[in-house]
Chains A and B, each alone.
Chain A
Amino acid sequence: MQLTRKGHSGQRTPSRFSSSLSDTLSRALPTMDRRTFLKRSGIGVGAGIAASQLSLIKRANASAAAGDGKGKIEVKRTVCTHCSVGCAVDAVVENGVWVRQEPVFDSPINLGAHCAKGAALREHGHGEYRLKYPMKLVNGKYQRISWDVALKEVSEKLLALRKESGPDSVFFVGSSKHNNEQSQMLRKFVSFFGTNNCDHQARICHSTTVAGVANTWGYGAMTNSYNDMQNAKAALYIGSNAAEAHPVSMLHMLHAKENGTKMIVCDPRFTRTAAKADQYIRFRSGSDVALLFGIAYHIFKNGWEDKKYINDRVYGMDKVREEVMKWTPEKVEEVSGVPEAEVFKAAETMAKNRPSTIVWCMGQTQHTIGNAMVRASCIVQLILGNVGVSGGGTNIFRGHDNVQGATDVGPNPDSLPGYYGLATGAWKHWSTVWGVDYEWVKKQFASQAMMEKSGTTVSRWVDAVLEKNEYIDQDSNVKGVVFWGHAPNSQTRGLDMKKALDKLDLLVVIDPYPSATAAMAAMQVDGQELNPNRAVYLLPAATQFETSGSVTASNRSLQWREKVIEPLFESRTDHMIMYQLAEKLGFGKELVAKIKLVPGKGGMMEPEPESMLEEINRGTWTIGYTGQSPARLKAHMRNMHMFDVKTLKCKGGKDPVTGYDMTGDYFGLPWPCYGTAAIKHPGSPNLYDTSKHVMDGGGNFRANFGVEKDGVNLLAEDGSHSLGAEITTGYPEFDHILLKKLGWWDDLTEAEKKAAEGKNWKTDLSGGIQRVAMKHGCHPFGNAKARAVVWNFPDPVPLHREPLYGTRPDLVAKYPTHDDKKAFWRLPTLYKSVQQKNVENKLYEKFPIILTSGRLVEYEGGGEETRSNPWLAELQQENFVEINPKAASDRGIRNGEYVIVSTPTGARLKVRALVTPRVGPDTAFIPFHFSGWWQGKDMKDAYPEGAMPVVRGEAVNTATTYGYDSVTMMQETKTTICNIERFAA
């Protein structure tokens, strides 16, 4: 079928000349065959359409035909920066200008599909509303300065702070938007500055997941993949609004649904995801443990649990069972509001349609008991024997495009890259990898104690500034903050944050769109004290489209982004800025000791991303970031069509450029991809999957918690092991001793032996231990049981506890929160005292509505980037509060009018009322992507000139309240209280 000819059948009668011209033209233009047509219509998913595609070259010609035909046209393959799905994009660049964006149908992850944000990516190539040059706050107004002045002044001020108050007086807020290479380098940068006071988005995103899940079975990541959800027979979404937050994941789920997968959504709101579900369960925000244990109750009661699996692979289920059986249907209904029949139905669906998977996201993580909620989800899956199974698993949808990677190798306050922790051994390991002297690093710190003590978290930097000095667990308060790719309006307690911002000595914002922080720092709040010596600098960073590097999607696949365009305006890449600042701070050489420098913008030298990735490859053995060499990743990006959509496996084929044979590789080499690139581990599509050989991506639970606990075996039982393992029972993690005991030591080469002596699978830089373990079909990290009881956590068996700010004093009495903590991540942290006071003050009467917050599909995070994108901004022009029609009519509120949402902090947000049954009468919802209004006023004047986003609005986090997870310091954003009243002008 020919689909391309332009018709002339209208009344229009073109002149004979022009008509014959266009006839010739249309004959010359490409036509579409049926296969291409079907692919372009998006039927590729599982419908057995062969994956053939226009080659890149042909594609370039096609776009050349579209342009004026004169310019130099290149197609660069990159990856969307707006969420963890990792959708690939082909950017068409003409003479250095990003002129078009084409879908990548070959991508097994997104098959060309995008959500609004991905479809609007090209705007990054224009960046009209970006910060264009360095600026400095002078007398309340931002003034342009040169890079030289900026770098000089910023480094001088940092050095002065370091000298006067110690390195811990500076807090570095890193970024999950940095690529892996930049993330790792930033952790190194902060270490060389001499502090662990660094953090990034993951803290306020999935920290509870990472801690809870890793402590349950080994790794704190999504176990399977979006693609693998096609294999699920049932899926339970709890606290995930994937249709808005991970829209392209729905491509796989909806396809699965058409093949019979049952979909259940539990959410306080009837979301766009819920609208696609077979069963929707509305429940009270903050009561996930009750609901999940309610489900587990029915599973146990009906004997639906996987007894063999539990016996072979799970530790502590009997204790959990005791707690679960306390959650009788009446109790579940009392706490969560869900009637027995609905809970039963969900339990039955999950049990009778195995493999079934569970999906969670921020609805579970962002609570004072987030760590317990996520473990309750893990427990349900363990009971059903769903973990380590294709179609099952815990599909934990991660947040930012590279939050997975930044968590894995980036600036965490409690760990060096790769979850090595902060103990001496970890420092020595990384010092070797970085090519610096351990003693030199140690000298950079205030002391060895501070070097090995976890830093403050991004959720609490405000308190590290404001708290009385005697209460904090470091010498000086925090006095300088560097925001390196993070928004301010994403952290709770905005009113307090403003106080902290005004108290600082130094604030540096390094960001393509630093304007939210800039405006918040520059605006004046009446009656608030302002540090007269405060210095504020804004440095324009380049986006990820202006550099290259790798990014880790939610499913642990790494993708390589090509550089699309040169850094716009005066912006510089983050790694260039790191290197230049390090030079001024006196550790430039050390920062790039093992890294190749190449000329970057304006001929200035910058670290080479490939070389930076190789450093990650050299050091990150724990989680298998070692096999993903730049060459392998690039080959995958070039040959996406060779990977299967359902399994992500390469069906066979060689990269035409390098000749590298990708047969058997999983797309993007999802970590763990153990050993060196040379041994060609294919990556692990589904974690802990015993049905596959370890060299085919198989696995089992990790032996990370010892071999026994109180006399109970923690290793897997006999017969439980990954396919083809020579050890057919549980075994501990591999080290030089175990290898010798097993008699496998001599499988190492001489060179490997030298490197491996005295080392374990995580610290052997030769990779020999891993190679040999896997050669024998064994998993380098051992073979153990998952822990249903995490004994090192405050609640070893997950317990329901009421939020600090709630509307149910009756339940607080039954399910009170934790006791206050003194020094927790360097800060005193309150629980019971706050909760009790709130009940005594009867806050539930003044603030009778539960306030929750979350996402809109059009905007991302703090929203400064996306609200500066006119294509997106047009779609959501004002912030709003979702309020139930009944709650609205009780208050005389009509749809579309302004209302005031007030919370116990004293904040008063002016937003539009969206009167909708999406929420029940007891709940209200405000999207969190807005900023630029402060307590009803537009802060227009506070923005640096030309860098104000198109749409501004009230930030919900101006009004959010106190409350932090008892393990990770996650902030409580999903459950607080508010009152809503009509706005009287």
Chain B
Amino acid sequence: MARMKFICDTERCIECNSCATACKNEHEVPWGVNRRRVVTVNDGVIGQEKTISVACMHCSDAPCMAVCPVDCFYRTDEGVVLHNKDTCIGCGYCSYACPFGAPQFPSNGTFGLRGKMDKCTFCAGGPEENGSKAEFEKYGRNRLAEGKLPLCAEMCSTKALLGGDGDAIADIFRSRVMRRGKGSEVWGWGTAYGKSPNPNATAPAAATAAPASFTEGKK
């Protein structure tokens, strides 16, 4: 069974915000809720600037899931971390726990009034029936059920953002790394999946040459 993951290729990401906007469009996400956002590290510093698009990474051992007082998270067969808005009490704990700042709330939280948590669904909807109106209204479109991939990745201007089966996108990424000979770190994977990407995949030279450098922040 495919394991869904994201890779944001920082050698390609240009802070165009297409991913963030595509998500808003596809799921009618309201103002103030940002399932995906784009961050630039070392903004404007010559030779040091890198841009990264970030959303829920659908972690293997998801902290959000662990702290939720009402256990509204669940994981699909594809490893997508989804949640049930019907049970969510809007306590905000998932957002405190999430390393990536993925969980979002429609309101500011005064007196704990945050509304139901919303976050990236990997375009896989929620517990309602696939493609139903109820599912759309609560969670947005269910593209996976339609045989499509996350729209943010599909619309990424430079194809920096890859979303899909972890092994497959790691292969794609690796082939780019091999061609350009740099930018081999897969951002966020260490934090989200607790290990370097795709250690078992038999990849050409690259993987065996330096598997360790496939993880972020090596030194």
Contacts and interface: CB of A to CB of B under 8 A. Distances in A.
A and B touch in the complex (CB under 8 A): yes
A66 interface: yes
A859 to B, nearest CB: 11
B176 to A, nearest CB: 6
B88 to A, nearest CB: 13
Given A119-B22, A123-B25, A916-B43, A66 B14 contact: no
Contacts of A875: 17, 20-21
Given A116-B21, A254-B11, A270-B46, A62 B130 contact: no
List the 3 shortest-distance A-B pairs measured between CB atoms, nearest first: A10-B74, A7-B76, A7-B77
6 contacts: A32-B149, A38-B168, A41-B159, A114-B155, A247-B18, A857-B15
Contact of B144 (A6, A22, A101, A270): A6
A916 B144 CA distance: 40
A38 B80 CA distance: 19
A443 B163 CA distance: 64
Contact of A243 (B15, B22, B45, B155): B15
B44 A918 contact: yes
A121 B151 CA distance: 14
A393 B154 CA distance: 31
Contacts of B162: 41-42
Contacts of A116: 16-18, 20-21
B75 A272 contact: no
Contacts of A139: none
Contacts of B18: 113-116, 118-119, 247
A6 B130 contact: yes
A305 interface: no
Given A12-B84, A270-B46, A872-B21, A251 B146 contact: no
Interface string B180-212: 100000000000000000000000000000000
A495 B158 CA distance: 40
Contacts of B163: 41
B142 A243 contact: no
Contacts of A21: 129
Interface in B93-135: 124-125, 127, 129-131, 133
Nearest to B129: A22
Contacts of A112: 154-155
B56 interface: no
B31, B82, B131, B175: which has the most chain A beta carbons within 10 Å? B131
Nearest to B160: A254
Interface of A: 1-12, 14, 18, 21-22, 25-26, 29-32, 34, 36-38, 40-43, 45, 47, 62-63, 65-66, 68, 100-101, 103, 105, 111-123, 243-244, 247-248, 250-251, 254, 257-259, 270, 272-276, 280, 282, 857-858, 870-872, 874-875, 882, 916-919
Interface in B5-20: 11-12, 14-20
Contacts of A871: 21, 24-25
Contact of A113 (B34, B46, B155, B180): B155
Contacts of A258: 176, 179-180
Contact of B168 (A37, A62, A118): A37
Given A6-B124, A10-B82, A254 B12 contact: yes
Given A7-B77, A119-B25, A254-B11, A113 B147 contact: no
Contact of A917 (B46, B75, B168, B169): B46
A138 B56 CA distance: 52
A250 B144 contact: no
A947 to B, nearest CB: 19
B78 interface: yes
B73 interface: yes
Contact of B165 (A3, A7, A31, A858): A3
Given A66-B131, A247-B158, A858 B75 contact: no
Contacts of B39: none
Contact of B156 (A42, A121, A882): A42
B155 A918 contact: no
Contacts of A29: 130, 145-147
Contacts of B215: none
Given A38-B168, A243-B14, A874-B31, 15 more contacts: A3-B165, A5-B77, A10-B76, A21-B129, A26-B145, A29-B147, A32-B147, A38-B172, A42-B154, A113-B156, A113-B159, A121-B25, A247-B14, A280-B46, A917-B45
A391 to B, nearest CB: 18
A913 to B, nearest CB: 14
Contacts of A257: 180
Given A40-B148, A119-B22, A270-B49, A12 B74 contact: yes
A9 B74 contact: yes
B105 to A, nearest CB: 15
Given A9-B74, A43-B172, A917-B45, A25 B25 contact: no
B71 interface: yes
Given A6-B145, A10-B75, A275-B49, A119 B131 contact: no
Nearest to B148: A40
B26 interface: yes
B111 to A, nearest CB: 25
A251 B16 CA distance: 12
Contacts of B51: 272, 275
Contacts of A114: 18, 22, 155, 157
Nearest to B81: A10
Contacts of A275: 14, 49-51
B44 to A, nearest CB: 3
Contacts of A882: 44
Contacts of A282: 46
Nearest to B19: A119
A31 B162 CA distance: 19
A658 B206 CA distance: 49
A43 B176 CA distance: 10
Nearest to A251: B158
Nearest to B15: A272
A30 B153 contact: no
B179 A3 contact: no
Contact of B155 (A103, A276, A870): A103
B12 A916 contact: no
Contacts of B146: 4, 29-30, 62-63, 65-66
Contact of A250 (B21, B34, B158, B180): B158
